Amino acid sequence: MPEAAPPSLPGAPWLERQERELEEAPARLVAALGLKPGQRVGDVGAGSGYLTWRMARAVGPTGRVYANDIQPEMIAILKTNLAVRGITNVVPVLGTPTDPGLPDNSLDLILLVDVYHECDHPWEMARRMTDALKPGGRLVFVEYRGEERWIPIKPLHKMTAAQVRREMALHPRLEFTENLTNLPRQHILVFRRKAVDGPAGTAEGSAPSTAPAPAASAVADPRAP
């Protein structure tokens, strides 16, 4: 019997491209997060699992990574990519555009790499991600730096630190902690769920995003022009 072909999806090869090591320094990113063995963390919009398996190694066999995406095909690719590496401490989660489907009050950290700008419902997503964090847990956005024109990514796929901070200011349970801009091209913007919660949000319904959201169903090549 021939082996079943691995699942494929347009966009998945882009996420696994070799140049990404140089452009995004994923090992440096994961080191900057300071993950500890035993932690429970989320990778929202995990795609093919490019960051998931690195986070899974960082939290170790006693830890757990919830790897979420809204595309079932991506989840299938992610499972294959984890299996070939022998990673067993990941829970794949198929989310919706408004809800990542993560357990409430339970995660130490949630990471989104090149995802938040793609969300069709960013306010709802941020609210539900905040629900999933433990008090003191961190919500981390990694986005191509919109302030720097030399970075060869279309403006639609970049965000400024001010944009992300403005959008998170709509969530009173979150506070900005730091911008670890030690990556070649991306911000690492860290927010924390306050130890004592305020109200869950400013309004029911979706607050307008400052970043226009492209369709999330495909990962297109975001390089400029």
Ligand X SMILES: C[S@@+](CC[C@H](N)C(=O)[O-])C[C@H]1O[C@@H](n2cnc3c(N)ncnc32)[C@H](O)[C@@H]1O
Residues that bind ligand X (CB under 6 A): 15, 44-47, 50-51, 68-71, 74, 95, 97, 100, 113-115, 118-119, 125, 216, 219
Confirm if 66 and 59 have CB atoms less than 8 A apart.
no
Closest residue to bound ligand X by CB: 47
The least CB distance from residue 114 to ligand X, in Å, is 4
Cα separation, 192 vs 112, in Å, equals 14
Cα separation, 33 vs 88, in Å, equals 21
The least CB distance from residue 90 to ligand X, in Å, is 14
The least CB distance from residue 109 to ligand X, in Å, is 14
Q: Residue 85 or 194: which CB sits closer to ligand X?
A: 85
Report the chain's terminal Cα–Cα distance, integer Å: 45
Confirm if 129 and 139 have CB atoms less than 8 A apart.
yes
The least CB distance from residue 1 to ligand X, in Å, is 31
- Classify each residue of 164-200 as buried b or exposed e, where b means 16 or more C-beta atoms within 10 Å of its C-beta: beebbebbebbeeeeebbebebbbbbbbbbeeeeeee
Q: Residue 63 or 95: which CB sits closer to ligand X?
A: 95
Q: Residue 126 or 174: which CB sits closer to ligand X?
A: 126
Q: Residue 102 or 174: which CB sits closer to ligand X?
A: 102
Q: Residue 90 or 125: which CB sits closer to ligand X?
A: 125
The least CB distance from residue 140 to ligand X, in Å, is 12
Residue 129: what residue type? M
Q: How many CB atoms lie within 10 A of CB 20?
A: 13
Q: Return the closest-CA partner of residue 50 out of 72, 4, 95, 19.
A: 19
